[in-house]
Amino acid sequence: MATIKSSYSGGLRTSAQHLASGNTIITDAPLDNNGKGEAFSPTDLVSAALGSCMMTIMGIVANRADINIDGMDLEVTKIMSADPRRIAEVVLTFTMPAGVSYSEKEKAMLENAARTCPVALSLHPEVKQTISFRY
């Protein structure tokens, strides 16, 4: 279980500290929602968490099956809706490492791992998750 201590700094900025490691992150409201946009917004963090979770679970599967995914890249695009203001869609594009060949079975394992990560399964079904893989 992870424990996080958060505080509101004013000016639509927050900080959150991961107590076990001491790491701290800050958030700002985005420019289009009265903020400074100088840091991740809370909805940016949700989108980043989805991508990081997918890559982590893919890494666990890859380690078990001796599949090389070192150097995999991910681009995440968050699309907001206005009424109500919420994340409408997260577009995730994985680019697998150059020069590595994957069997159809390996591709299926990695793609299933991404789609079934805990964050993906925790998001509301109305949040569209558009996922593509470039091999």
Angstrom distance (rounded) from CA 42 to CA 106: 34
For residue 117, how many other CB atoms are within 10 A of its CB?
20
Is a pLDDT exceeding 80 seen at residue 63?
Answer: yes
Per-residue pLDDT reduced to its tens digit, 9-39 = 999 999 999 999 999 999 999 998 999 999 9
Per-residue pLDDT reduced to its tens digit, 70-127 = 999 999 999 999 999 999 999 999 999 999 999 999 999 999 999 999 999 999 999 9
Q: What is the pLDDT of residue 1?
A: 72
Count the helix, strand and coil residues of the chain and give each as a percent rounded to the nearest 5: 35, 35, 35
Q: What is the pLDDT of residue 26?
A: 96
Angstrom distance (rounded) from CA 22 to CA 4: 10
Angle between the N-to-C axes of helices 104-115 and 42-65, in degrees from 0 to 180, rounded to the nearest 10? 140
Would you place residue 2 in the very low, low, confident or very high pLDDT band (cuts 50, 70, 90)? confident
Task: Return the domain boundaries, the chain.
Answer: 4-33, 42-134
Which CATH class name applies to 42-134?
alpha beta
